Structure 1
Amino acid sequence: MNGLTFAGTGGVLVLIAYAVIMLVIGYFAGRGKSDEGKTNRGYYLTGGGLGFVALLFTLYATQYSGNAIVGYAPTAYRDGFSWWQSVPFMIAVIAVYLLFAPRLYVIAKKQGFVTPTDWIRYRFGSTKLAVLVAVLMLWGLANYLLEQLVAMGQGIAGLTGDTVPYQIGVIAFVLVMLAYSWTGGMRAVALTDVMQGIALLLGIGAMLFGALYLVEGDLAGVTQHIAQTEPEKAGVPTTEDSINWFSMILLIGFGAAVYPHAIQRIYAARSERTLKRSLAIMAWMPLATTGVVFVVGIIGIQLFPGLSTADSEQLVGMIANEVAGVNVVFYVLMILLFGGVVAAIVSTADSALLAFSSIVSRDVYGRSFGRTASEGKQVRVGKVAGVVAVGVLLLIAWNPPGTLLSIFVLKFELIVQLAPVFVLGLYWRRMTANAAFWGMLTGALTAGFLSVADLGPFYGVPGGLAGLLLNVAICVLGSLASRPRDRAGTTDPSVPADFRATSADPA
């Protein structure tokens, strides 16, 4: 988002307007809801009362950040048509949701779940497994927050043409985010997500329309140009690229669906019907979001040929500059676009922050240090923990330790290891807590080692997926090899009867 010559004062005014709207929404979301804010379920899940519109857009904001625009278009520019994989892997997220979300919702509603680890304790009755899940979730959420803080600063600096410096922009919008999420909890986050989701969708539409205007709507001509000048970007993918395509569908499909803040939105739905309706609309969002951004990136190949990898990262800003120069209407739309991008980044960050606070509040403090504390005190501890975590991450984000891509990959590689306990554990009652623990631990260590050692994908298979396959193998083989009395639920009364296995149970 660097080099936005049309930005400056207009960008500052747009950011101020977004900030004011968020604060107003937070104020009214928390007003008259003092009782709701004193319970974990009320503050973190709005009491399980999110309606269709709010649930739809908060799910959308959870899955799509502003980085989906500024990061995915340059990737399409560099990779060409093979980056169409960004659409099916986001569709895969919804497919995985539909695989487990409705069934998990029914159990969560009946049992009053608040955090994702509530399901782990209910299903497996294992403290060590719940602790491991909580650790991986906190790591993933902290990583995710760091990514959003860095993107937030870069986005604000780019939108305002460095009128608002990177560090000042981060601090300003973090304070705004903390203010409305502190006062209104999940209700404020969900309502701001509605505003931010609409802004992002309108911004993406404006960007596509502007890019098409620049090439006179001739997509066929764009394709012919690519085939003639850079045929490798329009050719049939290699075997390794095809394997990577399939691998990314599995990795992101399962990984994004078990984000802690995504699972909490399942819990927060008003009804199973509301959840299913929201997911039905979400199934079309990959085409309206990543599909549109893909087309913009492809058009950029013709508009700005020969960009280096570093220069291509500024592609969206370059296109926006060209579009903004057409007339005053496009000028205004492009400023609003990047304001929407920043708002979308904030919406993703606030969701992660709320999930982080809830896990600390209920799973760390409530179950260990504050077992006798009231829920109101647990909520306050979670709020303070969120502020402290953001403070620490701000120190890191002040001088970012690596690229956004490296931060993103390390987060996904570990989060996806949670998939077996939520998907397989929901349907296969023979799965044991011990096998799940060792599978998850082995998968996480494998994925983390491959990422830290920078060994890269092995013939197109990323380290996170390699860890997940090992994770699933241990879960399945370990459960099958266990003796009947060792299986989840046969000797532990804390495990629900629905998931107790006996020697006569089929696999």
Structure 2
Amino acid sequence: MANVPLQLGIITAYLLIALVVGLLAYRVTDRTAEDYYLASRTFGTVVLLFTTFATLLSAFTFFGGPNISAGSGPEWILVMGLMDGVLFAVLWYVIGYKQWLLGQREGYLTLGQMLGDRFGSTALRVLVAAVSIFWLFPYVMLQQQGAGTALVALTEGAVPYWVGAGGITLFMIVYVTLAGMRGVAWTDTLQGLFMLVMVWGAFVWVLAAVGGPTAATSKLASTDPEFLALGGGLYSPQYVISTAVSIAFGVSMFPQVNQRFFVAESKMVLKRTFALWPVLVILLFVPAFMLGAWAAGYGISPADGNVLPLLLNEFTPGWFAALVVAGAMAAMMSSSDSMLLSGSSYLTRDIYRQVVSTATQRREDLLARVGVALFAALTFVASLFQPGTLVEIGDTAFGGFAQLALPVIVALYWTGTTRKGMLSGVLGSQTFYLASVFVPVVPSSYLGGWSASIVGMVLGLILTVSVSLATVAAPEENASRFSNLQAE
């Protein structure tokens, strides 16, 4: 039986350290929206790099990734590591740099605010915020589900699923209402470094226990000689490209990531950060996903639960396994706290303030905190039903966010984009993608394996461009807002 008191003590101690960092940040946070949501746009290279890194690396990465590597092979590294490490870095420049310039000049806090201002449209601003909050729901739920299943596996069932998921939910509510962006970013930096150290520690420890990478790979090959063949099975070209593109473009539209495009203190910080991004991604994904693949050789299957905690229980001491799971919990917390903070800004700034004409700052602040608690509680309740695997939930949310990306890129770079074109592109692609997820008669893949997410993205692009060409901009639309940008 696992040493439950020791393991829970280690995880609790880590959570308390994170809380102390958040409280320190709270003491120096101004009581303004720009400081609470964007830390007054003052992040340097290290903090921006690690807060984005930790925000993205969630239960989907730590548990979903090793699980799919254990079930289908290590090519998942190509999908999430090499391809998305590079693709997202490119999008960081294509979308993020232009957004940063606009944020510096216009003071934007959210993507919806930026688009609503450019197209003179409250409806577009509310639509983008509503779509974003809708797709945040399953991704926050994924973190809670990951926390619950991780503690079940680590403690061999001594800690029930609902305790793990509920505990992380309660912590997130307290933390987000206090810390703001500065506290989240400081903690993210700590958590990102901790994640890297722990996953490489696990990599070295497990390999030392089994006799090295050659022995682990030989064991895997003897279990299933076809497992190490490149491609085949799940990893068709259509699947690999569809998944990588959907995830990379979806990530760029995640509210918690997209808002980080606004927070760099200088142009140089932004460019250094997206140049370093692929390196950091590979440093985490390669050891985490290879551990998952090697686990299959030792009879550890995703059918038994999350493979990473099970593998650690098999080959490392309980205290070390608890430290690694604490690192995974750090990944979940750093994603969830950022999601709740960004979701709060979308709810209050882009929906409540636009719909309620009598909104006051005090009511808005209260709604932000109540909204965080309510949203987290609802996702916790949904996570109790475990509606899908971590990969399925994450992939669905990535696809939903990806539908926003191409209309946004068109708007950023083509002055001929019109309000009707944007509304058509966003509504059309979202409607199609929602139907592919929730309506059984609508296929989820096309033409030999291309995902509905990719088809929806192409549809959104076609609608945005064609409707813009067929319509005339309204007088209140202002294309000059997105042009003539220079770094200050």
Give the TM-score normalised by the residue count of structure 1.
Answer: 0.88
By how many angstroms is 1:167 displaced? 1.9
CA displacement 1:222-252 (0-9 Å, x = unmatched): 2695288432541443797012111122111
2:416 partner SS: coil
> Is contact 2:153–2:306 with CA below 8 Å preserved after alignment?
no
Match of 1:13 among 9, 24, 36: 9
By how many angstroms is 1:392 displaced? 2.1
Taking the aligned partners of 1:214 and 1:440, their CA distance within structure 2 comes to 51
Moved more, 50-59 or 135-144: 50-59
Match of 2:288 among 293, 298, 301: 293
> Is contact 1:6–1:324 with CA below 8 Å preserved after alignment?
no
Match of 2:437 among 444, 451, 457: 451
Code of the residue aligned with 1:462 in structure 2: it is: S
- Structure 1 residues 494 and 436, CA, compared in 2 at 3 Å: closer, same or farther? closer
1:472 is aligned to 2:461: yes
Taking the aligned partners of 1:106 and 1:389, their CA distance within structure 2 comes to 32
CA displacement 1:266-301 (0-9 Å, x = unmatched): 112222222222222212122112222222123223
By how many angstroms is 1:421 displaced? 3.1
Counterpart mapping for 1:103-142 below 5 A? 103-142=98-137
Code of the residue aligned with 1:41 in structure 2: it is: E
Taking the aligned partners of 1:150 and 1:221, their CA distance within structure 2 comes to 29
By how many angstroms is 1:32 displaced? 4.2
Match of 1:393 among 367, 379, 397: 379
1:47 partner SS: helix
1:231 partner SS: coil
Counterpart mapping for 1:221-236 below 5 A? 222=217, 226=221, 229-231=224-226, 233-236=228-231
Match of 2:324 among 325, 337, 346: 337
> Is contact 2:403–2:426 with CA below 8 Å preserved after alignment?
yes
Code of the residue aligned with 2:313 in structure 1: it is: N
- Structure 1 residues 429 and 224, CA, compared in 2 at 3 Å: closer, same or farther? farther
- Structure 1 residues 371 and 46, CA, compared in 2 at 3 Å: closer, same or farther? farther
- Structure 1 residues 371 and 61, CA, compared in 2 at 3 Å: closer, same or farther? farther
1:171 partner SS: helix
| Counterpart position of 1:90 | 84
Taking the aligned partners of 2:276 and 2:162, their CA distance within structure 1 comes to 37
Identity of aligned residues (%): 26
CA displacement 1:122-171 (0-9 Å, x = unmatched): 22222222222111101011221111122122223333444433222333
> Is contact 1:90–1:252 with CA below 8 Å preserved after alignment?
yes
Code of the residue aligned with 2:427 in structure 1: it is: L
Counterpart mapping for 1:299-378 below 5 A? 299-304=294-299, 310-311=303-304, 313-324=305-316, 331-371=318-358, 373-374=360-361, 376-378=362-364
Give the TM-score normalised by the residue count of structure 2.
Answer: 0.91
> Is contact 1:227–1:234 with CA below 8 Å preserved after alignment?
no
Code of the residue aligned with 1:59 in structure 2: it is: T
| Counterpart position of 1:328 | none
By how many angstroms is 1:257 displaced? 1.3
> Is contact 2:154–2:313 with CA below 8 Å preserved after alignment?
no
1:41 is aligned to 2:37: no
Match of 1:204 among 199, 203, 227: 199
1:414 is aligned to 2:397: no
- Structure 1 residues 341 and 127, CA, compared in 2 at 3 Å: closer, same or farther? same
By how many angstroms is 1:338 displaced? 0.8
By how many angstroms is 1:469 displaced? 1.0
Taking the aligned partners of 1:287 and 1:297, their CA distance within structure 2 comes to 15
- Structure 1 residues 159 and 239, CA, compared in 2 at 3 Å: closer, same or farther? closer
By how many angstroms is 1:107 displaced? 0.8
Gaps of 5+ in 1: 326-330, 501-507
Taking the aligned partners of 2:97 and 2:327, their CA distance within structure 1 comes to 31
Code of the residue aligned with 2:225 in structure 1: it is: E
| Counterpart position of 1:265 | 260
Taking the aligned partners of 2:195 and 2:223, their CA distance within structure 1 comes to 34
CA displacement 1:413-466 (0-9 Å, x = unmatched): 211111023222111111222112112211111111112235433322111111
Taking the aligned partners of 1:249 and 1:294, their CA distance within structure 2 comes to 15
Moved more, 182-191 or 347-356: 182-191
| Counterpart position of 2:278 | 283
Please give the root-mean-square deviation of Cα atoms over the aligned residues, in Å. Answer: 2.4
| Counterpart position of 1:68 | 61
> Is contact 1:66–1:200 with CA below 8 Å preserved after alignment?
no
Taking the aligned partners of 1:212 and 1:73, their CA distance within structure 2 comes to 16
1:492 is aligned to 2:475: yes
Taking the aligned partners of 2:294 and 2:36, their CA distance within structure 1 comes to 45
> Is contact 1:257–1:263 with CA below 8 Å preserved after alignment?
yes
By how many angstroms is 1:361 displaced? 1.2
Gaps of 5+ in 2: 484-488
- Structure 1 residues 228 and 414, CA, compared in 2 at 3 Å: closer, same or farther? closer
> Is contact 1:86–1:291 with CA below 8 Å preserved after alignment?
no
Match of 2:43 among 33, 39, 50: 50
Taking the aligned partners of 1:477 and 1:493, their CA distance within structure 2 comes to 21
| Counterpart position of 1:505 | none
By how many angstroms is 1:108 displaced? 0.9
> Is contact 1:259–1:415 with CA below 8 Å preserved after alignment?
yes
The alignment covers a number of residue pairs equal to 478
- Structure 1 residues 371 and 276, CA, compared in 2 at 3 Å: closer, same or farther? farther
| Counterpart position of 1:405 | 391
- Structure 1 residues 243 and 223, CA, compared in 2 at 3 Å: closer, same or farther? farther
By how many angstroms is 1:496 displaced? 4.4
> Is contact 2:216–2:294 with CA below 8 Å preserved after alignment?
no
Code of the residue aligned with 1:18 in structure 2: it is: Y
- Structure 1 residues 322 and 427, CA, compared in 2 at 3 Å: closer, same or farther? same
Taking the aligned partners of 1:182 and 1:189, their CA distance within structure 2 comes to 11
| Counterpart position of 1:26 | 22
1:449 partner SS: helix
